[in-house]
Amino acid sequence: MLINPDEIIETIKMIEMENFDIRTVTMGINLRDCADSNIKVLNQKIYDKITTYAKNLVETVEEMEIKYGVPIVNKRISVTPISTIAGTCQETDYSSIAETMDKAAKEVGVDFIGGFSGLVHKGYTKGEKNLIKSIPAALSKTDRVCSSINVATTNAGINMDAVLEMGDVIKKTADLTKDNGAIGCAKLVVFANVPEDNPFMAGAFHGVGEPEAVINVGVSGPGVVKNVVDKIPEADFSELAASIKRTAFKITRMGELVGNSVSEELDVPFGIVDLSLAPTPAIGDSIANILESMGLERCGTHGTTAALALLNDAVKKGGAMASSHVGGLSGAFIPVSEDQGMIEAAEVGALSISKLEAMTSVCSVGLDMIAVPGSTSKETLAAIIADEMAIGMINKKTTAVRIIPVPGKGVGDYVEFGGLLGRAPIIDVNQFNSDKFVNRGGRIPAPLQALNN
């Protein structure tokens, strides 16, 4: 990859003035050969493999930060979904596996480790049933472990039994971590059409089609894109889209350069660049502010979904031209607590769950880092999940829900997480119940779009 001097100068400006960073370098590690019926043996194998493969990950990434002068915010690990390797265990409580993952993550120095996960879109195995039941305890006992469950796909439909169970799991996780603002729920996500190569938490895991180990990179840069939009206030939509595409191209080139360099240094294959614009609570690093720079008074007003669609599409097109290996989620994230502009929009009533749901039909993921009253029932949580899964299923796209019912909190209150997770205003939910609907059970059938062979 050839980098000319002008690009170097431009990159320095993006870093110093526009909050540009590489959000994460994530090493995926296959754990299928760790399977064992004895959970103590399984745990030892998991610990040994993670600490062997990732022992130089953080050091190498930090060397790349110095070499290229680009901040790399998080170093992470994703592993094979634990439900697939723990199914032969006689033990039914898998929380000790999460503790082993947490111990290994701390040993090698990564920020998060994902893969306490299961895929149940068409039904449960024994391992998946045990894993889901273990999630509340697992997330309450660990600091760096993230969990995800895929409950729907376009080809299989929506497993509504799993959706209802995840509503219950979220409530239990919130209760067990209530002393920390229900932070366990910030590390738990429910998916439709989950990707196997996602480097972002909380949904990262190492898919079955992946190699023994792999390096995936997640780029960022909302501040860089906002600066470009600010410079052309009178541009029409075609020019606006073209400018965002060019910017996404530059951001992605930097991500691929870093990913390839880490890959070569560790002798681990390079996987993908995830193009996602991932905001932070820092001022000027907001997706909402980009949309407002396009001409919206507040993110959430009429026109927001159209503006987000333009942004997401332009980012994908620009990034796809810069890299032959684009994957993961790729687009624009809209996590409420992690985006200062989203927080402000929610505070003034411009942004509601209903509007956020509409926005998810055109963005990368879904209802992300949304805090709701602690009194919200498991059935209401399940119904919110079901709506989001339907959007993903029908539109053949990844959608997800990371929702946090904060015990003891109501509308008008706040919950503080700190760091990249930020702070969130408690958002109201619809007061009419959906209990009978979500308790029907079974599977919502796959749509006609599934018949594409």
**The domain 218-439 is classified under which CATH number: 3.20.70.20, 3.30.70.360, 1.10.357.10, 3.40.50.2300?**
3.20.70.20
Would you give per-residue pLDDT tens digits along the chain (453 residues)?
555 545 544 555 555 444 567 888 999 999 999 999 999 999 999 999 999 999 999 999 999 988 888 888 899 999 999 999 998 888 999 999 999 999 999 999 999 999 999 999 999 999 999 999 999 999 999 999 999 999 999 999 999 999 999 999 999 999 999 998 899 999 999 999 999 999 988 899 999 889 999 999 988 878 888 888 999 999 999 999 999 998 888 888 888 888 999 999 999 999 999 888 877 777 777 899 999 999 999 999 999 999 999 999 998 898 888 888 888 888 788 888 888 898 899 989 899 999 999 999 998 788 989 999 999 999 999 999 999 999 999 999 999 999 999 999 999 899 888 777 778 899 999 999 999 999 999 999 998 888 877
Beta bridge partners of 402: 368
Instruction: Examine domains 26-192 and 218-439 and report if their fold is the same.
Output: yes
d(CA 209, CA 206): 8
Cα-based angle 145, 273, 231 (whole degrees, multiple of 5): 110
Q: Max alpha carbon distance in the chain (Å)?
A: 65
Report whether CATH 3.50.50.60 matches the domain 26-192. no
- Rounded distance between C-alpha atoms, residue 345 and residue 289, angstroms: 10
Q: What pLDDT is attached to residue 17?
A: 45
- pLDDT attached to residue 251: 83
Domain ranges of the chain: 26-192, 218-439
Q: What is the pTM of this model?
A: 0.92
Strand ranges (DSSP E) for 80-119? 112-119
Estimate to the nearest angstrom the gap between the alpha carbon of 335 and the chain centroid. Answer: 9
- How far apart (Å, rounded) are the C-alpha atoms in residues 231 and 179? 45
**Cis peptide leading into residue 446 (ω within 30°):** no
Q: What DSSP element (H or E) covers 212?
A: none
Please state, in angstroms and rounded to a whole number, the distance separating the CA atoms of residues 48 and 100.
10
Q: Tokens at residue 230, please?
A: 């600010």
Which ranges of 54-122 would DSSP assign to H, the alpha helix?
57-68, 82-85, 95-108
CB distance 195 to 328 below 8 Å: yes
The CA distance from 291 to 312, in Å, is: 11
CA atoms of 55 and 117, how far apart (whole Å): 23
